[in-house]
Structure 1
């Protein structure tokens, strides 16, 4: 007959072995299974609150399939889609509200506001993603297996993307460029792009030229290539308009007319005032340079030069100022061969003239 104490000990040891066996038999959790568990918990919570909706959820949950010991149903997929959609809407709405709030902060300049908007956007999207993961019940430690592969993918596939992101943040921090600036940038092939900055994005800077062409230049290019910013510390830009007049003209009057033509242009600033410099004595003309200032380079510079030259043309015509063109004087040295050639040409020309004067009867 068995001792009651020994039987109790055997039952206790059996229970402990059963418990340890149950713990070792628990399958390893994965994100898909945790998402399904989160959907199951949500289903139970809704069913307890509203029985009618709970019955509908039960029907949706009955339609599904199993993949590697993890069951997926229509309800599970619907919950995941709704959570992702909610994350997207939450991030977009909160980002828009944050940007509108920053626009009201008048103490921030354009560069500081853009930098704050980018930081807030990244932070709000991160918060929204974490909230979605928490709703689905996914344990972040389950994603540790994929962290190495994800980091490797970022290092190789998204290297340029993250490089442009960091370059854009640096450009905004040092305030070297900002929306509204007029810049001229040259790439490694020597091709230049001149235009006004409309937007500084996460990946590229949008530049619009005078012919309404919009160029998207990667942020890294603005970091490694030379950039000519016409409105970095001042929006004033000096223009040079070359003009040449004949040697026989009144130089004082010519310079006065050049100043009058520059002052007549509406976009030319009164201060600093336009000036005229005599540049050089050229082969066919005395060359001058008209210096004039503008403070709106985004409106173009070629049209200002054209307006000054058109006005100056009319003033030169009214005051008989000649705009020269290249002229050459040929000096032919006399020698025996040249004289023979001239004589032969003269004799031939005179012979043709005599033959032309004869009538029909004389020619017969």
Structure 2
């Protein structure tokens, strides 16, 4: 098919040798690749089953390592097959020059994401199951792939995010060191309501909820004298891996509404007091119209 010159140094002297690539060698390399591919795939799958079944490794983590091991094994197989059939790597030197530069530019982003994926696996700033926020997207990391990772939002929408984004951008990992997060609910009650009683009532409802964590304990803050209400904030902690924060907030609002109604504490509505100031008393006259009916005049 084609040949290439390969130099070998023997006893301090360079010996020039010519190696040719024949159809037989090429078929032999393909055969080695196919056999190696089948054997390595079966071995990696067996190791993955062993890791998940006996070693207690999660399915998601096992899949991540399986993908990266698969790429590494395929690369080794290619090099091994070429050396086994005596095809030197120098025969591919003709692919250099302009073609290599073009491929380099075309695969720049791909290589950047691949390297970023390796950094994510080594440094582990995030892992499968973490709740992250990046670029305006919030959700749970469902998989970390070779080029991109998948973040699943609370509404079920899955977004593929390039791995380089997690390395180059600011990422908020809500579960980096632990899975506890703090949430809060704003409540307003009518003026004239006893603030201390409101605080105790809100705190009791939070402690009564079965999903709200006991430690750190919930707390209630008298946050402000609002335009229409006395404003309070109920702060509580959840285990994000076991609780749906949106559902818990809805449950607490139902519980608080019932408790306030039972205690006779009103929830306010927007209202305004209008004060009319006059330098002189307002004069009101009642006149009789042409039809004989009285007409008001101001």
Same fold (TM over 0.5): yes
Structure 2: 5+ residue stretches without partners = 5-19
1:278 has 2:222 as partner: yes
State the partner residue of 2:3: 29
Task: Give distance in 2, aligned partners of 1:325 and 1:226.
Answer: 41
**Superposed displacement of residue 177, structure 1:** 0.3
Name the CA shift for 1:166/1:351 in 2 (closer, same or farther; >3 Å).
farther
Higher normalized strand content (fraction of residues): 2
Task: Give distance in 2, aligned partners of 1:253 and 1:182.
Answer: 36
Task: Give distance in 2, aligned partners of 1:140 and 1:352.
Answer: 114
Higher normalized helix content (fraction of residues): 1
Paired residues of 2:52 and 2:59 also in contact (CA < 8 A) = no
1:268 has 2:217 as partner: no
State the partner residue of 1:202: 146
1:99 has 2:48 as partner: yes
Deviation track 1:264-292 (CA, whole Å, cap 9, x = no partner) reads 32220112221111111122211111111
**Superposed displacement of residue 120, structure 1:** 2.8
Q: Which structure 2 residues correspond to residues 1-364 of structure 1 after superposition, within 5 A?
A: 29=3, 34-38=21-25, 85-103=34-52, 106=55, 117=66, 120-134=69-83, 138-148=87-97, 151-186=100-135, 192-296=136-240, 299-335=243-279, 339=282, 343=284, 347=286, 351=289, 355=293
Number of aligned positions between the proteins: 280
Range with greater deviation from structure 2 (166-175 or 80-89): 80-89
Task: Give distance in 2, aligned partners of 1:329 and 1:181.
Answer: 50
Deviation track 1:54-113 (CA, whole Å, cap 9, x = no partner) reads xxxxxxxxxxxxxxxxxxxxxx6xx78766544543443333234345547859899997
Range with greater deviation from structure 2 (116-125 or 250-259): 116-125
**Superposed displacement of residue 34, structure 1:** 2.5
Name the CA shift for 1:353/1:243 in 2 (closer, same or farther; >3 Å).
farther
Partner secondary structure for residue 74 of structure 2: helix
Task: Give distance in 1, aligned partners of 2:143 and 2:64.
Answer: 12
Structure 1: 5+ residue stretches without partners = 1-26, 40-75, 187-191, 358-364
Partner secondary structure for residue 179 of structure 2: coil
Partner secondary structure for residue 29 of structure 1: strand
Deviation track 1:246-275 (CA, whole Å, cap 9, x = no partner) reads 221122221121012212322201122211
Task: Give distance in 2, aligned partners of 1:168 and 1:91.
Answer: 22
* TM-score (ref. length: structure 2): 0.79
Name the CA shift for 1:298/1:214 in 2 (closer, same or farther; >3 Å).
farther
**Superposed displacement of residue 302, structure 1:** 1.9
Range with greater deviation from structure 2 (127-136 or 235-244): 127-136
Task: Give distance in 1, aligned partners of 2:156 and 2:267.
Answer: 35
Name the CA shift for 1:267/1:151 in 2 (closer, same or farther; >3 Å).
farther
What RMSD in Å do the two structures reach over aligned CA positions? 3.4
Deviation track 1:98-152 (CA, whole Å, cap 9, x = no partner) reads 4345547859899997775455333311122234435665332211222445642
Paired residues of 2:182 and 2:237 also in contact (CA < 8 A) = yes
Range with greater deviation from structure 2 (158-167 or 105-114): 105-114
Paired residues of 1:237 and 1:295 also in contact (CA < 8 A) = yes
State the partner residue of 2:9: none
